[in-house]
């Protein structure tokens, strides 16, 4: 039997808590191993500082603060199956907001569920609303948002670049045999934009790379799936910048995707909303084919862009 191709695009589950819990983070009892196993992933390694713990998983990443949990998983993982474990740790009455995001997949027939099924599961835990950004017949993301409690944090931003169809000359750098140099270069380039980041990375055999970075309460994460039949790379950070043009330029110049999506999610306070106006005005060599903005009634806004190489057919 020919193995199914690996699915790089991720599912993302983020749970914000009403009240921070100092007892949430410790993993001495293996709690975050249980959470990871429930989603069909496993912890490979971790780094920590005073503000958060960052776990590299066999399929992407897990981040834990005292006031939120963020799980990003690729492949055929099932992060929603981890919700009971997470709720047992955080308390079901302590949830301020839940955010679930799922990109369109390259091989949807290999997934254990579709978004409609996932949304129904989410609705069973957290009443909310579902949205789609981007056209159904092109790159898009599905989003489910629940906000049962008021008083969400100000100045909260997540910036994502979701890149697909990498050239083979780029993808072949991220293999177990010769990927160390590529990862080192990636870290050095990121440090120029995000100084002070501490990194944890892993090269998978025969190919694939995951990397987490942390600095104070900030994180960034990069995941590279270089397989020829479905090459994909994602970048994500919660670092608040004046704009993200330098980050976009760096990621696009390193990975040279044929097409990519940008997702900017932020609280709607006065300091973050202007970021949405600046997104997408600085992508040389690419054509923006889709742009949408939605302001949710929970106090957050999301901008979504699709970009394709200008010389692509």
The per-residue pLDDT for 2 is 45
pLDDT for 90 equals 94
Query: How far is the CA of 160 from the CAs of 14, 36, 39, 251, 299, in angstroms?
Result: 14, 22, 22, 11, 19
Catalytic residue among 10, 59, 101, 236: 10
Whether 60 is catalytic? yes
Which residue in the list 59, 223, 261, 307 is annotated as catalytic? 223
Cα–Cα distance, 213 to 158 (Å, whole number): 14
Catalytic annotation on 281?
A: no
pLDDT in tens, 18-75: 999 999 999 999 999 999 999 999 999 999 999 999 999 999 999 999 999 999 999 8
Tokens of 224: 């590279």
Helix (H) or strand (E) holding 122: helix 115-125
266-291 per-position pLDDT tens digit: 998 878 888 998 887 768 899 999 99
Q: Which residues of the chain have pLDDT under 50?
A: 1-2
Buried b (16+ CB within 10 A) or exposed e, 151-160: ebeeebbbbb
Instruction: Respond yes or no: is residue 202 known to be catalytic.
Output: no
Cα distance between residue 216 and residue 137, in whole Å:
40
* 210 noted as active-site residue: yes
Residue 313: partners with Cβ closer than 8 Å, 6 or more residues away: none
Query: What CATH topology corresponds to 11-309?
Result: 3.60.90
Annotated catalytic, 165? no
Quote the pLDDT of residue 312: 67
Strand partners, 309: 286
Determine phi and psi for 250, rounding to 5 degrees: -65, -50
Q: Looking at 36, 39, 60, 90, which residue is catalytic?
A: 60
As given in the structure block, the two tokens for residue 152 are 């969400």
pLDDT at 107: 76
Could you tell me which of 47, 54, 79, 58 has the C-alpha nearest to residue 68? 54
Place of tokens 């983070």: 25
**Are 274 and 244 contacting, i.e. CB atoms less than 8 angstroms apart?**
no
What DSSP letter does each residue of 213-226 carry, written as one string?
EEETTEEEEEEEE-
pTM of the model: 0.95
Which residue is associated with the tokens 């906000």? 147
Break the chain down into helix, strand, coil percent, rounded to 5: 25, 35, 40
Q: Please pick, among 39, 61, 210, 261, the residue that the annotation labels catalytic.
A: 210
Question: Which one is catalytic: 36, 59, 61, 74?
Answer: 74
10 is catalytic: yes
Length of the chain: 313
């Amino acid at each position: 039997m020919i193995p199914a191709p690996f699915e790089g695009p991720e599912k993302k589950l983020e749970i914000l808590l009403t009240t921070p819990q100092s007892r949430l983070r410790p993993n001495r009892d293996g709690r975050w191993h249980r959470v990871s196993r429930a989603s069909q992933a496993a912890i490979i390694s971790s780094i920590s500082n005073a503000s958060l713990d960052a776990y590299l998983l066999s399929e992407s990443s897990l981040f834990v603060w005292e006031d939120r949990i963020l799980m990003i998983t690729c492949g055929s993982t099932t992060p929603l199956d981890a919700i009971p474990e997470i709720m047992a740790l955080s308390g079901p009455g302590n949830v301020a907001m839940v955010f679930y995001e799922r990109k369109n997949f390259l091989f949807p027939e290999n997934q254990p569920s579709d978004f409609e099924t996932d949304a129904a599961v989410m609705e069973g835990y957290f009443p909310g609303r579902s949205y789609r950004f981007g056209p159904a017949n092109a790159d898009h993301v599905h989003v489910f948002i629940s906000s049962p409690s008021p008083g969400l944090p100000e100045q909260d931003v997540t910036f994502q670049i979701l890149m697909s169809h990498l050239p083979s000359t780029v993808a072949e750098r991220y293999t177990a045999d010769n990927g160390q140099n590529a990862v080192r270069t990636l870290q050095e380039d990121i440090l120029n934009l995000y100084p002070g980041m501490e990194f944890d990375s892993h090269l998978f055999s025969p190919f694939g790379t995951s990397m987490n970075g942390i600095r104070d309460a900030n994180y960034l994460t990069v995941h590279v799936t270089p397989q020829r039949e479905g090459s994909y790379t994602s970048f994500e950070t919660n670092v608040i910048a004046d704009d993200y043009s330098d980050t976009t330029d760096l990621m696009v110049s390193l990975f040279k995707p044929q097409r990519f999506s940008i997702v900017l999610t932020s609280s709607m306070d006065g300091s973050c909303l202007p970021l949405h106006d600046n997104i997408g005005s600085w992508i040389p060599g690419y054509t923006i084919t889709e742009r949408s903005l939605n302001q949710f009634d929970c106090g957050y806004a999301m901008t979504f862009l699709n970009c394709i190489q200008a010389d692509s057919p």
